[in-house]
Amino acid sequence: MATTRMALRMALAIVLASAASAKKPIPRGCPTGTPNNTYANPALPLPYDGYLPAIDNETMFLHNTRHAGGAVNNVNAILARYPTLRDSVSLSELVSRIGLKTFDKKYGIAANDSTALRSNAGSAINHALFWRIMTTYNTSRPADHLKPELAGHIAAAWGSPTGLLDALRAAGASVFGSGWAWLVYFPDAAQKPLAIVTTPNQDNPLMAAHVARASRGVPLLGVDVWEHAYYLRYRNLRTTYLAQWVSLVDWAMVQRNYDLAVAGAIDSLYC
């Protein structure tokens, strides 16, 4: 357990060290940054109707602008009360450490704001990854994008990319209520490097204070199983949604996220 925690800290060291050493305010040179050092809701890679037939355009509009966009607005409103935190800590570091007693105490974060940041900053990061991991329906082939190392890890754990997606669908279907299913990378070489885990609500595998040790790692691929992600088209049929959603996975982005994680970094949207 201690080895896993240490390895994860090392894997995130580049991100955390750069945030800690940056001059205030952090120049958020990334898709989620704004000139006044707040966060913006990242644009979708495709038009709202670009996810058909798996996800309808109304769902994508509401999901992006109302649900994810609302979370980003909430993050900015909370961080306005903590300018030192806002200007010196990246969103990825905040999500990784929110709720830890030493972190909350250092920045004087009130308990209710810590809870709110857990949910809203988690939502902002989760959705940023979710948008970026999807592409046009049934156009991305694993064989065209996966390098031998990642393909080998997937084959060892699930037999094939199809087996991985089947396991991810099963995990997503098993979530009680709202949450996410993830493909996670573990930096600890002493254990299997990849696993599928689930988190409730808007929790993220980066969250040291809120996620079980066995589920802590760097998310490479995540699927939203909140009802707002699928209800307009599929009603309560989450398994049908998941069966369609896997055809949106952008394997080039899965490989990119893996390469970043192995190097100890996180996607640039997590700035």
Region of poorest pLDDT, from 19-28, 65-74, 100-109, 163-172: 19-28
Burial environment of residue 139 by CB neighbours within 10 A (0 to 12, 13 to 18, 19 or more): exposed
At 66, which amino acid appears? R
Does the annotation flag 144 for ligand binding?
no
Q: What is the CATH number of the domain that holds 175?
A: 3.55.40.20
pLDDT at residue 269, rounded to an integer: 64
pLDDT at residue 37, rounded to an integer: 79
Say if CB 186 and CB 217 are below 8 A apart. Answer: yes
Region of poorest pLDDT, from 4-13, 63-72, 147-156: 4-13
**Mean pLDDT for the chain overall:** 88
pLDDT at residue 190, rounded to an integer: 59
Evaluate whether residue 251 is within a structural domain.
Answer: yes
Evaluate whether residue 51 is within a structural domain.
Answer: no
Nearest to 75 by CA among 29, 126, 24: 126
Q: How far apart are CA 75 and CA 69, in angstroms?
A: 10
In the numeric block, the tokens 């669908």 are attached to: 169
For residue 262, count other CB atoms closer than 10 A to its CB.
15
Give me the number of domains the chain comprises. Answer: 1
Q: Is the peptide bond before 35 cis (omega within 30 degrees of 0)?
A: no
Evaluate whether residue 173 is within a structural domain.
Answer: yes
Nearest to 80 by CA among 41, 119, 106, 116: 116
Evaluate whether residue 82 is within a structural domain.
Answer: yes
At 55, which amino acid appears? I
For residue 9, pLDDT over 80 is answered with no
Between the CA of residue 224 and those of 23, 109, 132, what are the distances in Å? 35, 28, 13
Judging by DSSP bridges, how do beta strands 179-185 and 218-224 pair with one another? antiparallel
Say if CB 54 and CB 245 are below 8 A apart. Answer: yes
For residue 113, pLDDT over 70 is answered with yes
pLDDT tens, residue by residue, 123-167 = 999 999 999 999 999 999 999 999 999 999 999 999 999 999 999
Range of the structural domain that residue 219 is part of: 2-43+56-262
Evaluate whether residue 269 is within a structural domain.
Answer: no
Which DSSP letter does residue 245 get? H
Does the annotation flag 228 for ligand binding?
yes
* pTM, 2 dp: 0.88
Evaluate whether residue 270 is within a structural domain.
Answer: no
Does the annotation flag 67 for ligand binding?
no
Does the annotation flag 145 for ligand binding?
no
pLDDT at residue 189, rounded to an integer: 59
For residue 15, pLDDT over 50 is answered with no
pLDDT at residue 20, rounded to an integer: 38
Evaluate whether residue 50 is within a structural domain.
Answer: no
The helix/strand/coil state of 199 is strand
Q: In this structure, what is the dihedral angle of CA atoms 192, 203, 176, 134, given to the nearest 10 degrees?
A: -70
Using pLDDT thresholds of 50, 70 and 90, give the confidence band for residue 36.
confident
Residues 6+ apart with CB under 8 A from 131: 42, 44, 45, 64, 68
Evaluate whether residue 61 is within a structural domain.
Answer: yes
Nearest to 270 by CA among 23, 42, 17: 42
Judging by DSSP bridges, how do beta strands 194-200 and 218-224 pair with one another? unpaired
pLDDT at residue 14, rounded to an integer: 33
